Homo-oligomer: A and B are copies of this chain.
Amino acid sequence: MRDLLGGKGANIAEMSRVLGAERVPAGFTITTEACVTVMEADGEWPAGLEAEVEKAITALEGSTARGLGDPADPLLVSVRSGARVSMPGMLDTVLNLGLNDGSVAGLAERAGNERFAWDSYRRFTQMFGNVVHGIAGERYEEAIAAAKAERGVKLDTELDAAALRELTERFKAIYSEETGEELPGDPRRQLRDAIAAVFSSWGNDRAVEYRRLNRIPDRWGTAVNVQQMVFGNKGEGSGSGVAFTRDEITGASKPSGDYLHDAQGEDVVSGVRNTLDLDEMARLAPQAHAQLLEILGELERHYRDMQDVEFTVEEGRLYLLQTRAAKRPAQAAVRFAVDAVEEGLLDRPGALATIEADKLDALLHPTFAADASYEVLARGVAASPGAAKGSIVFTAAEAVERGGESEDVILVRPFTEAEDVAGFAAARGILTSEGGKASHAALVARGMGRPCVVGASDLDIDVAKGEVSVDGKVLSAGELITIDGSTGAITVEDVPLVTPEISDAFQIVLAWADEIRRLKVRTNADNPEDAARARSFGAEGIGLCRTEHMFFGADRDGLVKEMFLAAEEWRRLHASADEDPGDAARARATTVEERFRTALASLEEMQRDDFAGIFRAMSGLPVTIRLLDPPLHEFLPVEHFEAELKALGGRGGRPEELDAARHDLTLARELREANPMLGTRGVRLAVLYPPIYEMQVRAIIEAAAIVARDGGEPPIVEIMLPLIAYETELDEVRELVEGAVAEAQSEIGHDGPYSIGTMLELPRACLVADRIAEHADFFSFGTNDLTQTAIGLSRDDVEGKFIGAYIERGILDRSPFETIDEPGVGELVKLGVEGGRSTNPEIKLGVCGEHGGDPASIEFFDRIGLDYVSCSPYRVPIARVAAAQAVPHD
């Protein structure tokens, strides 16, 4: 009934059942459906709602034997929100409703406590004004301060009944001043207004923002719970508190909590007074404490999860106001899971289900020391978890020069590009002022496990000047900066960092996950270090090794440019090949051919070493190598060649040098594309420049042979062709690859098994997967690019810009780059799976987009029957747990 009654409403009902009605204050719940209807009608109540509320309140009056507003023995109620999922502090609440100038006297008499009655009434007028009419809290605080000053006291509790009575009058006056009308004395009217206010609090800014951050749909609405008030502020025998069934930070199996004697619940939450812990409560209210501990155990056993409860002790009697699954940090979640199994509370799948897999990477990365206090300079988007500090550098080159082993540096840039990747490796962390969670900086940083904060738009970064300014403060290169990629915080203080180890409990949880899960988990890795790290985290192979990442790096840059220019010249030569060329043309052809082959030969050597390193790190496991998939323009940026030519002119280059530079610039210009994402990429490159793939294939085969000869267990080589749209493309390029493999194997006299598959990353490929599967040993769904093409979204261009606007306006629940868009992109993956298996039942199916590390997406991939997911190294443990959680269990 949670959808209809909200979490709290359902909970109250359930608690009454478990603990007995006497432990839970009586009340009733107005459904979320009513809220949605009211919201859609712009606040208008549907016919019948008012009558139903009247019926329910009358029944409550009956069961409690008190009347709302009764001057003799008034029924007081709380009016609280209660959404399907908890949104702590986001929605509004009115307490002590039912008090007016008449009933306050009845309350005083029944409680035998005039001060309590006036304090309650004072609180009600304050909350009603604040919640129902949005009157600023300060107005009331000022009045309290004035009252205290007038009486020369310091604490609220020092105000006596008379003072509180005066204060209540003052609050009523504030109400009239602000709203132009009297505070309603009719409790029915109070109730109606309060319910309406709770409905409308669903739409307040902080609630909308909270939903956006927590991916809660706007259309859910909140329920409203009307419940008899119980009072923790009825003197010495009373109190209020919150309690966790276990330690909420560590997960240790000892209840913890906060208690305030003679106080209402909001005093505990607001932090106005210093709370006591449960041991202290035991001293003050031993009986209630004992009951509470018993009940905590009962609730945990019932809900089979760590609970977070609110309770009140009214004149010695314990009431439970709320219980819910306790939010907990990763270490507590893991500890609870392990203990719960040991205690027989849960079985392993059940215990795993209590863990939020997404949070687990906090257990792998350095973090700010828990007790560290520091001033936040600015905030950005938490893009890659972990904390890092170091001297500011503004360029990748500087990072390489100063960073690495020699010095801790943080790479600070407006945004990053492919050619900055070497700088990532040398830096401890990355900070950008632009971009979102799927920007280049975020993707690469997550892949490499580097802490990263992006989109810190308050930062004004002037790379040329070597300065970053924020709010008038200017930082120069070399100054210390500290970032927390788990929270987005940026500071200039030297915050102490702690590096957690994979705890025993975490190892146990991961072992269970491995027992249970059906999906294999591989990693995306482009170098031996990442591969080794991922393997230590449990990766069962590489699902995506992007060879273009190997083409970057200062030592290769010139060579790679040279190779692509030569390739293009080579292509043009062959396209226009004359049947009987003259001598000059023949000579030129020889030069072009030689230039291309020379560049390829040097790259082949480097690639071979790259692959050998990766193969060693993954020996015995499958390694999927994607052949080159560059957007050409990243390798041949026009700006670079313009600058080269200018520089050459500046230093008085010889005419033939200038000619050559001009020629290169022209080629780069001609190769520039309006939409590189949809241009000469992937396998299209192999059709235009076949020798490039041939070179890569040779390097792979040679590397496998080297590892085998060195006595290592060779990996299971899977060669992946990117950006296939047509089965005929795959057929053609597969032939090319097979030819190159056969040639290389016969040359070096070593052969090993290999398979050839394709990346499914275009909608067309998914639609004709049946045809493509006839030529493929495996499919790997490239859901990043598939998302871009299926939805027509260039991640770089739109993510920072309007995905945010879309989520804010409720058009999107979440970014399709974070969690797979099931009805759209997911449907394509499903069609691809069905099509592929229909013609090739043996085909191996995986996913290598970022979604491979997202728990919600992993659940989907398990459901549609993929064989494995592949994700960045630091997400491997998360994926292992998520894959286990995806397996249905009772």
Contacts and interface: CB of A to CB of B under 8 A. Distances in A.
Interface residues of A, number: 51
Contacts of A767: 790, 823-824, 827-828
A796 interface: yes
B728 A810 contact: yes
A692 B466 CA distance: 39
A824 B762 CA distance: 10
A438 B797 CA distance: 25
Contacts of A680: 797-798, 801-802
Contact of A790 (B764, B825, B827): B764
A419 interface: no
A794 B674 contact: yes
A480 B677 CA distance: 41
A805 interface: yes
Please report whether the interface of chain A is mostly helix, strand, loop or mixed according to DSSP.
helix
B674 A811 contact: no
Identify which of A723, A767, A823 gathers the most chain B CB atoms within 10 Å of its CB: A767
A688 B761 CA distance: 29
Copies in the complex: 2
Given A678-B788, A802-B684, A812-B728, A673 B824 contact: no
Interface in A782-839: 785, 788-794, 796-798, 801-802, 805-806, 809-812, 821, 823-825, 827-828
Interface string A770-792: 01000000000000010011111
A374 interface: no
Contact of A764 (B677, B732, B797, B821): B821
Contacts of A764: 790-792, 821, 824-825
A612 B678 CA distance: 38
Nearest to A805: B687
A673 B797 contact: yes
Q: Among the interface residues A673, A788, A824, A825, which one has the most CB atoms of the partner chain B within 10 A?
A: A824
Interface string A664-684: 000000000111111111001
Contacts of A794: 673-675, 677-679
Contacts of A796: 673-675
A825 B805 CA distance: 30
A538 interface: no
A802 B575 CA distance: 11
Nearest to A672: B797
A732 B796 CA distance: 25
A763 B811 CA distance: 18
Contacts of A676: 674-675, 797
A725 interface: yes
Given A674-B796, A675-B794, A676-B675, A824 B763 contact: yes
Contacts of A728: 810-812
A678 B679 contact: no
Given A677-B678, A680-B797, A732-B811, 16 more contacts: A673-B796, A675-B675, A675-B677, A676-B797, A677-B794, A678-B792, A680-B802, A725-B793, A726-B811, A726-B812, A728-B810, A761-B792, A763-B790, A763-B824, A764-B792, A767-B828
Interface of A: 575, 673-681, 684, 687-688, 723, 725-726, 728-729, 732, 761-764, 767-768, 771, 785, 788-794, 796-798, 801-802, 805-806, 809-812, 821, 823-825, 827-828
